[in-house]
Amino acid sequence: MRHLICRIAFAAVLISASTASAGKNDKRLDIYWVDVEGGAATMIITPQGESILIDTGNPGRRDPDRIARVATRVAGVRRIDHLIITHYHGDHFGGAANLSLLLPIKAVYDNGKFKGMPNDPGKEYFNFKCGKRVVVNPGTKIKLAQRKGAAKLNLHCVGTRRSFIKPGKSSVANSTLCAQHKSKNRDGSDNANSVVMVLQFGGFRFYDGGDLTWNEEKKLVCPKNLIGKVDVYQVTHHGLDSSNNPIVLNSLAPTVSIMNNGKTKGCAPEVFANLLATKSISQMYQLHKNVRPDGVRNNVADKFIANVGKKTTGNIIKLSVAPDGKSYTVSIPKSGHKKKFATSKK
């Protein structure tokens, strides 16, 4: 009965949705940060019109409904082609089962069941309907259709379950930055097993590290930088200070950071200060204004925040990359804010 109610309740959205993908029409790569209020849900629409969703927000109906609404009404897609779950915490996998009742899911990529897993998402998660399930490993590439007339597209896993890819021939030694690392004893939860993904579209590169923890982050850049430089950095772990190691920030050297925080979750003072101190970052964005007592000092200007008021929720941040991958625009559709950036030299 619950399944039937979910499908009926969402039928009107599917009927009214656009049948065409914006990415497929204009050959651009689009990324949407859906507001799941301190969880994570990052939707990518490729130039060929494939949909990729990294994480599904919290359990219940609110977050799956918001994801499905952005998919159908904003992005113009009717299914999730590739669902990547970074780790088994409720604010990342929690919406998956209910989302599968709203939109067909072709493939799920996650850590599967592994020895010593600290969190078990349970039968509902492992049994929800999808086309196939794939256990992701360091080096796994998500097969994506290429679009003629657009830049080459690549999405691959750099690390997961505390294991990482081996340095390539072009990997840069990082001895000076690595010497600055200061350990933190915060790697006991499933956050440390997070799937780390890098998306590349021509010269444009985007990093999503889930909730990867501080000491595990070090392995991405020490002794060598396994990732290289990126243009956009999704602030890890909602901006909590058990992640976002400054040696990673300075090694990846992003131009833009986007934080999927909540009103009182994330945007920690230490992380905010480290983002500000990262010389490569020219603009920081937040999904929510931090309304904790420390928020006065730890917020970007309101025009760079999707949800500003204490009661404001549901507004998204969108990023759109030009077909040649040489520039991208970050926008907040609700406020009309837009800012264009040139893809950095790598």
Total domains in the fold of the chain: 1
Q: What was the pLDDT predicted at 160? A: 98
Structure tokens at 22: 């914006």
**Is there a cis peptide before residue 118, judged by omega within 30 degrees of 0?**
no
Q: What was the pLDDT predicted at 24? A: 64
pTM: 0.94
> Could you tell me if 85 and 195 are in contact, meaning their C-beta atoms sit under 8 angstroms apart?
yes
- Domain extent for 254: 2-342
Q: What was the pLDDT predicted at 218? A: 96
Query: What's the CATH code of the domain at 257?
Result: 3.60.15.10
Q: What was the pLDDT predicted at 296? A: 87
Q: What was the pLDDT predicted at 319? A: 98
How high is the mean pLDDT in each 10-residue block of the chain (346 residues)? Answer: 47 39 78 98 98 98 98 97 98 98 98 96 98 98 97 98 94 92 87 98 98 97 97 98 97 98 97 98 98 93 96 97 98 98 95
Q: What was the pLDDT predicted at 3? A: 52
Per residue in 77-113, is it b (16+ CB within 10 Å) or e — as a string? Answer: bbebbbbbbbbbbebbbbbbbbbbbbbebebbbbbee
**Residue 186, burial from CB neighbour count under 10 angstroms (0-12, 13-18, 19+):** middle
Q: What was the pLDDT predicted at 284? A: 98
